Structure 1
Amino acid sequence: MTAEARAGFAPEALSRDAFLGGALHLLQPRGGYRAGIDPVLLAASVRARAGQSVLELGCGAGPALLCLGTRVPGLALTGIERQDDYAALARRNADENGIAAAIVTADLTALPADVRQVRFDRVIANPPYFESTGRTRAADAGREAGLAEETPLATWIEVAARRCSPGGEVTFIHRAERVPELLAGFCAHLGAVELQPLAPREGRPPRLVLARGRKGGRTPFRLHAPLVLHRGASHEKDGDDYAPEIEAVLRRAADLHFSA
């Protein structure tokens, strides 16, 4: 049996996709949940250093966790994923890229004891963006699980904060319309909360935000100026038109710094 089949997907159901300019290659289901740039931006924004521990809640096939492990070698990486097939795929992706990562199949609301006993220096998450009601369900169950919220966002934040060590940081990426919930959860459990809006183009409202908080932090809330993802007022030619800072993140595994 092939490794792809053991991961719960037939070989023909998977594609092998390059991230970080080819520094990382990930198997992803062709018809299931597939990573865009969101987990790459999340990983690039994490202020982790070699030797630190990182937990990702809902790691899927591993794009954020493994992008972070590629950018910052020497991290102790742990991913939580409730879907067996995606967890197995994350393990395979970690192995194929030579990145040590412990992938645990579990729901974030029922973490195993060995995970509950650990505090992590950094906790990250790219939760499902959409509430389960008032939308058309995706035909693929794995894609639907990656898009539609079943566990409330407040619970994601509470669990992340609980698993974070004193002085450690929690970083989420989410949709801009969920900012009220993000801020409520972050401010209830974390300090030194920062919000980094991500605008598609100059003059357009942000669609995504990065939220970061420190366990035990005391500095005031900070709202940063939007980072603009694309050059120009509109997409005018074939190919990418990412802003230089974002292109460096996506192609060269550069850090993503919150703006002034």
Structure 2
Amino acid sequence: MSGEAEETSILGGRVRLLQPARGYRVAMDPVLLAAAVPLGGPGRVTRVLDAGLGTGAAALCLLARASAEVRVTGLEIDAGMAALATRSAALNGMTERLPVSVGDLMDPPHAATSEPFDAVLTNPPYHESGTPPPNPGRAGAHAATVPLARWIGACLDRLRPKGRLVVIHRADCLDTLLAALAGRAGAAEILPLWPGPDRDGIARPARRVIVRARRDVRGAATLWPGLVLHTPDGGHTAAAERVLRHGEALDAAMAGQRAGPDGVVAG
């Protein structure tokens, strides 16, 4: 990555983020991913790995709502992106809590292998359907150079027994994602991210899904209601606003949604 960087703010101004002036731009996915990481039980969560850190958005959003003892190690293969994440950590006073390493998840550096982590969060690289974006930075951020099953397996390798994996990915890859967990992680939780009905009130399918699972744990999968992101006019639902602007945990936002008489869930 080369070129100028510019500062933007996310999480209602609570996080300052440097990102390329041209190319890939952070959307809501990393904020939702960070909100889905459980910081309570079962099991203590203090050591976290962000596999595929990018410019650090998810890690910084997680640290913004976590206690001071939580530390996130960022692993990013693109040296330019990693440099921006390091600078963003400094902007937010998080240098000690967000050490950044340049490296490949498939052959990780010592910082990612010296001790197992309590949780790993990741937004695996993927191809969107349709025409690839013309900008190389955006295309690189979404290029599926590693099969999803291998990426998930490498994330699980970094976890302690009973540690949590938290993944955001395309909903149409859910079967592949769950298959990658089989025999290695269980008690999977599936949290769909619903776009909400269109202007005619017609329901639309989820395009993204968050999956949480625990390494070396057996247990049945749970399908949660998930989160409705948009109202029919295109604005964010109240529940989505609490996550995206106010840093509320995804579990709390899901619990605060209400179904109206027409069955549509609102915040």
1:191 to 176, 186, 189: 186
Partner of 1:222: 222
The Cα of 1:129 is off from its aligned counterpart by 2.7
- Of Structure 1 and Structure 2, which has the larger fraction of its residues in helix? 1
- CA displacement 1:38-88 (0-9 Å, x = unmatched): 000000010125860100111100000111011113211101100010001
Partner of 2:115: 118
Partner of 2:264: none
Give the gaps of 5 or more residues in structure 2: 198-202, 256-267
The Cα of 1:142 is off from its aligned counterpart by 2.4
CA distance in 1, matches of 2:178, 2:158: 18
Indicate if the aligned counterparts of 1:201 and 1:234 stay in contact, CA closer than 8 A: no
State the SS of the aligned residue for 1:107: coil
In the alignment, structure 1 residue 142 sits paired with structure 2 residue 133 = no
Partner of 1:156: 151
CA distance in 1, matches of 2:32, 2:195: 13
Counterparts of 1:89-104 in structure 2 under 5 Å? 89-99=84-94, 100-104=97-101
1:55 to 49, 53, 58: 49
- CA displacement 1:68-120 (0-9 Å, x = unmatched): 01111321110110001000110000011011211110011110134223100
Indicate if the aligned counterparts of 2:190 and 2:222 stay in contact, CA closer than 8 A: yes
Indicate if the aligned counterparts of 2:49 and 2:112 stay in contact, CA closer than 8 A: no
Partner of 2:37: 46
- CA displacement 1:155-176 (0-9 Å, x = unmatched): 1110111101112100000111
Indicate if the aligned counterparts of 2:45 and 2:118 stay in contact, CA closer than 8 A: no
The Cα of 1:135 is off from its aligned counterpart by 5.2
CA distance in 1, matches of 2:50, 2:123: 9
CA distance in 1, matches of 2:240, 2:217: 28
In the alignment, structure 1 residue 206 sits paired with structure 2 residue 206 = yes
Partner of 1:130: 127
Partner of 1:64: 58
CA distance in 1, matches of 2:2, 2:86: 13
Identity of matched residues, %: 38
Indicate if the aligned counterparts of 1:48 and 1:122 stay in contact, CA closer than 8 A: no
Indicate if the aligned counterparts of 2:47 and 2:71 stay in contact, CA closer than 8 A: yes
Equivalent residue pairs, number:
243
- CA displacement 1:195-251 (0-9 Å, x = unmatched): 1111100421111100100112222111222421112x343xxxxx21111101111
Tell me the TM-score normalized by structure 2: 0.85
RMSD over aligned Cα atoms: 1.9
Partner of 1:22: 13
In the alignment, structure 1 residue 86 sits paired with structure 2 residue 81 = yes
State the SS of the aligned residue for 2:177: helix
State the SS of the aligned residue for 2:133: coil
Tell me the TM-score normalized by structure 1: 0.87
Q: What amino acid is the match of 2:176?
A: E
CA distance in 2, matches of 1:56, 1:226: 22
Partner of 1:256: 250
State the SS of the aligned residue for 1:117: coil
